[in-house]
Amino acid sequence: MKRESWIGQFARWATDWTGSTTAFLMALGVIAIWLLTGPIFNYNDTWQLVINTSTTIITFLMVFLIQRSQNKDSRAIHLKLNELVAAVHGASNRLLNVEDLSEEELKLLHSHYCHLVKLAKKDGSLTVSHSVEEAEDRHELKRSQTLSAKTDRHRSRGKSG
């Protein structure tokens, strides 16, 4: 596997470190020191400017670190889900890289799954059917199997009575 660049390694280290308890306690300590020095500096504009400037710079940098971390996590989750969809027999391959579809395509796919839920609710189960392509067929198959089972039970009761 390709090794991460030094800037990527630094960004990962910064992301990990800033999310640590140590970083939180240090930030708390900096704020406490800033508050305690207020009376020394008579709460003047420079005293306020120090904390305002510091927090603005830190927030600006953290936005990019958080976004980088979320992008990487999201990409990893999508790859794992793609692997599962590709490996599961009967799963719809159209869901591979579904995150790359347009908003309209996602809405259309969502409406298909909403239809699938409606079909499943009719039978009282939300987990039996799972694929857009198979929804109608499975729904009809389930209904015919249920009717067949009821007919068989009715026949067996008639013979034993």
Q: Give the per-residue pLDDT at 94.
A: 78
Q: Give the per-residue pLDDT at 13.
A: 93
Count of alpha carbons within 13 angstroms of residue 119, beta-carbon side: 22
C-beta of residue 77 within 8 angstroms of C-beta of residue 85: no
pLDDT, tens digit only, all 161 positions of the chain: 788 899 989 999 999 999 999 999 999 999 999 999 999 999 999 999 999 999 999 999 999 999 999 999 999 998 998 888 888 877 778 788 888 889 999 999 889 888 877 877 776 655 555 565 566 676 677 677 777 877 777 777 766 55
Query: Nearest 5 degrees, angle CA 15-CA 24-CA 60?
Result: 50
Q: Quote the CA–CA distance of 97 and 82 in Å, as a whole number.
A: 7
Verdict on whether the full-model pTM lies above 0.85:
no
C-beta of residue 53 within 8 angstroms of C-beta of residue 63: no
Of residues 110, 113, 115, 119, the one with CA closest to residue 140: 119
